Amino acid sequence: MNLLLAEDDALLADALCAQLRRAGFEVEHAPNGAVAEYLLLKQGFDAAILDIGLPMLDGLTVLSRVRVARPGLPVLLLTARDALEDRVQGLNAGADDYLTKPFDFPELEARLHALLRRARLGVAGAAGPGVGLGHLLLEPEARRATVDGQALELSPREWQLLELLVTQRDRVVTKEQILQTWGADGGEAPTNNVIEVYIHRLRKKLEGAGVGVRTVRGLGYLMETQAS
């Protein structure tokens, strides 16, 4: 599991990163809120640990901003504040769990695994699960995509392309992956030029959706959120 730890206490951050890596997590550290927000919006982390008292941007501000683009991201808040109103504020801001300093690492690890289990069960067990990104909502079971509630008219291959890019968001999708996805439909084998045509069509249909398809030269395409 790929995890972001946002903590400005260097000694605590080093210790937590080491323990989390020993526990099997891949960890990236953000020393302040600005870096944490940037990384969470640009990379596909499976979960995040945010300290509330981060410099530059506090943890609650980071959380509220990231929730717009990553509504399903499991987030655990860390704080030295133990008042009830602080816990309520954190949970209302969109946190999935809350841990007060000082704490023992086994409790942190257990809470992380619980958050990840709930996230997996939520995706697997929800009726008609959807994936939100920007103003775009993708509903794979219904094979439907909407932008602010308005349905997108997509051809079968446009749908397959959009679904692939969204499910692999924050990761580069190669032309080979796109060709393999299209090849499963039994139709005529497409070419690289055809991919570029479909990417162009998809970009036009996603205008105003708060997401875009970026060409990563020599590698492929990347679905990413865009600033409002």
CA neighbours closer than 13 Å in the CB half-sphere of residue 57: 17
Residue with the two structure tokens 């069960």: 121
Residue 139: beta bridge partners?
144
Phi, psi of 16 (to 5 degrees): -65, -40
DSSP structure class, residue 152: P
Supply the Cα-derived Rg of the chain in whole angstroms: 19
Q: Same domain, yes or no, for 42 and 120?
A: yes
Asked whether residue 186 carries a pLDDT value surpassing 50, the answer given is: no
Q: Answer for the pair 160, 205: CB distance below 8 angstroms, yes or no.
A: no
pLDDT in tens, 98-118: 888 889 999 999 889 888 876
pLDDT band for 228, please (50, 70, 90 cuts): low
Residues 157 and 103 in one domain: no
Same domain, 136 and 173: yes
Final residue belonging to a domain, choices 96, 125, 154: 125
CATH number at residue 201: 1.10.10.10
* 109 and 196 both lie in a single domain: no
**Co-location of 154 and 111 in the same domain:** no
- pTM, 2 dp: 0.55
Q: Over 90: is that where the pLDDT of 205 sits?
A: yes
pLDDT at 90: 73
- Selected residue with higher pLDDT from 147 and 55: 55
User: Count of domains in the chain?
Assistant: 2
The answer to whether 51 touches 79, Cβ cutoff 8 Å, is yes
- Domain-ending residue, one of 88, 104, 125: 125
pLDDT digits (tens, 9 = 90+) for 27-75: 999 999 999 999 999 888 989 999 999 999 999 999 988 887 787 788 9
Collapsed DSSP state (helix, strand, coil) of residue 211: strand
Q: Within this chain, do residues 84 and 135 fall inside the same structural domain, yes or no?
A: no
Do 21 and 115 belong together in one domain? yes
Are residues 212 and 149 both part of a single domain?
A: yes
Q: Could you list the residue range(s) of the whole structural domain that residue 77 is in?
A: 2-125
